[in-house]
A and B are shown apart, each in its own frame.
Chain A
Amino acid sequence: MSLAEEIEKANETAVNRMMEAQALWVDIGEARKIIPGFKDMMLTHAGPPITWNKASGPLRGALIGAAILEGWANSPDEAIKLLERGEIVLKPNHELNAVGPMAGVISPSMPVIVVKDPKYGNYAYSNLNEGIGKVLRYGAYDKSVLDRLKWMHDELYPALKAAVDLIVKEKGGLDLKSIIAQALNMGDECHNRHMAATSLFINEVMEYLIKADLPKDQLLRVLSFMKNNTFTFLNFAMAAAKVFTLAGHNIKYSTIVTVMSRNGTEVGIWVSGLGNTWFTAPAPIPKGVFFPGFSQNDANPDIGDSAITETAGFGGFAMAAAPAIISWVGGTVDYALEITNKMYQITHTKHRYFKIPYLSFQGTPVGIDIRKVLKTGIEPTLNTGIAHKEPGVGQIGAGIVSIPMDLFKQALRKYAEVYGIT
């Protein structure tokens, strides 16, 4: 077989596995207990590896907040000292098979959900979504943020633990893939729009929360919290996307992208046939629509592991499925369709299970092929929230961003080296 044929075969395998992988929510627990490799005095974060020096505002804020939450520091100043001195180990989420939105900081005592793929045996983890506004993942760390995180640990986590244990007993786990597939037909794209998905999730989980026999006021607080946060399902969707892409990772010869992620300073990718090698470049600043009082000048460069959704073939790649999102990209339904059409040109195939109603139920573009990206000059395009560059301010807008071409060039050159192409 020629090299090109080997590659086609490998890509076919990788993407098939991505599409056939299952995603069941099976557990929730503290990061230190649940995530293999998670150590004390460690904080994980979104995107490729980074040092405190290079970190942007939102990530710094989140790290400070997490250090205080864990009790390693009593004040922001103390926290900063610890971080400056390197006394806290910083590690990318992806290197532990975890994902987190925006700053994506996970600390040892934070509750993380466990998503399992029974078909290919992979596990992925994510934290719980705090809601919108002043939240840790946008770099806020004042008392209200920390109090909320404490509540999530003390009330939300046990409630969800009780529910998921019952679900696992009854049916092995909560099927996240089917929620995503349905939500894509209900106006969500499951990266920035989760209204339908969150509703479906609450529908599913409600019965078990009640069966868990929680004190009524706790139950009501838990329900109210999830209901009022339309992004509740985001972290579940991301963990599901992570197991999908894990199934397609480490396939020899494959040129399919299995990680795309940003840390607020750099953006990085992994390629299936090149293992856990990071290829990085400066993270672009998203372009979009800003909330009153804010503008492009206030925006932080792109940040978050949530690009894992596009990597798995939904999110921004299903933009055409979520016309409400298109206001974010400042355009028309036609423009969203156009972007999705462009993504077809850089991916391996159309998803067997995730369909887009507006495109006559065509499958979403899945399996970004670095060869096609370079050949067409089309960069993968995502939707994203835009963070203020100062820690603690929060989300200031929403828009689109592309993954820079340079990453794919680096990856191709490495590929040539690894596979002996002269």
Chain B
Amino acid sequence: MIDWRAVLSDFVLGFNDWVLWYFGALNSFYVILFLVSLYEVLRFVKRTFFSDYEQILKSEMTWPISIIVPAHNEARTIVETIRSLLGVNYGEFEVIVVNDGSTDDTLRKVVSTFDLKRTDRVYRRTLETSDVRGIYASLEMPNLVVVDKVRGGKADSLNAGINVSRFPLYCSVDADSIIEDNALLRVVKPFMEHPDEMIAAGGIVRIANGCKVREGRVVEIGLPNRMLPIFQVVEYLRAFLSGRIGWSTMRSLMIISGAFGLYRKAEVIAVGGYDRSSQTEDLELVLKLHDHLRRQKRRYRIVFVPDPVCWTEVPSTFRVLARQRNRWHRGLVQSLWRHRRMMFNPKYGVIGWVAMPYFVLFELFGPFVEVLGYITIPLAYLLGILNFDFFLLFLVFSIIFGIFLSIAAVLLEEISFRRYPGWQHLAMLVLGGVLENFGFRQVLSLFKVKAFWDYLWRRKSWGRMEREGFRPAPETGPTGARTGSAA
């Protein structure tokens, strides 16, 4: 007869010991990442005391950019988005809108508002995409092109945009995001400084919930007044300022946000463009680029530039948030598995030794450890072996450390960009940073565990993302579907 109580007790006690080391390692790593980011932020602030942006704007040597906007059922905001993109502060650029088989008014609105006509623009179908039904342009406005195609998903639309684009660089932009006026100038700067090595650059994504938006521009920056989005504001600050800056400095940036990224077209084509079967095509693309370039043993740069800003809306209800995080995590698992040969492979440098193991050990398994921790506590209590002191200390330890990381991210923001000017904003951010560790983070871990489970059982759910819309419009119901990918 197996003594279940003894087995379980051993397991719980062993787990307790082990989990301390795990969280010790995890948090130490976070601290290192934060310190690296801190160092780089200070350097960055010192480097850009006088802006070169005017010069980049005027210079004829600045590379032209194709802005690609995949759009599916975005009738409500698409015209505003296009207008604000056409007015962006940059020399030579074109805007390519890819209508991904929208079932609403999207195409009709764009064609009629900008007076576009069908044309026979010739292009090379370098990347495979779903059928293109037609291309629309206007002789008066040569830098706006609309590609109408059969539904194929976001990755597919981006590939179609790449096919049609004319310029050596392309910038992928979400249809519901707002790019700041000078964002292109700022994100192209590294390309001007290191023209031979630069491959891709990403900017920071900031949260538009709570900002006042007029005619497709953010005219007043503010914080949302619901707690869930505020938690995400702090989370994004942590992810971008304490996270991505650090990774970028260590030359192992693995993600460039799909909402706003600038890429060298030739290289993206060389790796086969965006992957249509991926849940998170942006992550997959960057990993493919790293893979390809490292194998070629080329000197290259894929960087994060904290300066250029893209404003985007985040879910304000748990339901939509759950779907979004589920998709992100499934995509993460999928991409890590696909590129598993980079792990601990000396050919891949820092990515192989540090970044990928980090993601697997901490991002992937972390949620399991955490959830397991919450299970073993009541289990230990039931078995009568609960060490109350330990339990309390551990909980306090992990929560306080979480608060520390959130406040540290706010510090980074305050010494660099200071986009939230008021004292009330600071108070809300600090409060949010504290409170998010009392439930929000734990819930996110649960989402991730479920996502992993979903991935194993290959369950795919296509979500419809409800959007509140930016402030000017009244709160309405679902306005459009978020594209998953067609497999």
A and B from one assembly?
no
Query: Chain A: residues with CB nearer than 8 A to chain B?
Result: none
